[in-house]
Amino acid sequence: MAAAGSDVTFLVRAKRAEQLASRGLVVNSRYGDLALRPNMAVAVNEVFDVVLIACKSYDLETALPAIRPAIGPGTLVIPLLNGLRHLEILDAAYGREKVAGGSVHIGVTLGSGGEIQHLNGLHYLTFGPRWESQAEACRALHAEMKKSEFQAILSPKISQDLWEKFVYLTTYAGITCLMRSSIGAISKTRDGTAIARELLAECVAVSTASEVPPRDDFLKNCITKLTESNSTGTSSMLRDMQKGLRTEYEHILGDMLNRARAAGIAAPILRMAYTSVQAYELVRAHTGVC
């Protein structure tokens, strides 16, 4: 959006601000590389039309007070975090009438020099109103986003979209973290594909019990991606583990497991995936490395 000329300000931490001031915002992508000198701030004291929240889930609580000065009576807040649990937190913090729904589908990682490396062909952002009062602001934002090079989708069924991504991401992260392997490697094992399908079925059962059954075309696409024998894809959660970093396991695997238990759904594969990453986090917290 900044490259397309939109009026964008990046709210960043001090270390990231130093990187951006020194090297600029660098994005390496098959769709074209970018090198920008963006507007940025380490604190805000003015109200914005739209606030896009793109931190990790475990940083949300500390981000809330930093974002608050930017939110006025007419501000639209769009979180791009994974999962669903953050919606309740943001509703309580800012009022649910301000918080729309949003998600991104993109494979990226941060390079050693602070550059953003786009890893695959996905680059779309889906958002939409959770309440009718947000519809006009969402339409205005969509018109602005369409000037950019990524695919912006204004969804009339954002709750369905968010649940489906939650199902897919939990399965994808769960199976790759449990096996510490790519989708392709897992699918070439004797039982890998069957286990991936079982984990998907558990997550689908939770979504259905929550009165948001996934659509058939979504499920077909999920199965294709989860069983692709030539895929080198791994979840960002696994990539974080491989770097010895903190993960979003509680916000994704843990939240899905809690919802399964509340609905009385047995989820043995999900339990193992959650426990596997929890053990990693316990070791990482104790030793500082894993």
Distance CA 150, CA 128 (A): 16
Catalytic residue among 15, 56, 165, 220: 165
Distance CA 238, CA 155 (A): 29
What the block records as the tokens of 198 is 């079982």
Tell me the CA distances in angstroms from 236 to 33, 182, 249, one per residue in order: 21, 11, 11
Q: Do the beta carbons of residue 138 and residue 154 sit within 8 Å?
A: yes
Our answer to whether residue 165 is catalytic in this structure is yes
Q: Do the beta carbons of residue 48 and residue 69 sit within 8 Å?
A: no
The secondary structure of the chain in percent helix, strand, coil, rounded to multiples of 5, reads 50, 15, 35
Known catalytic residues are 165
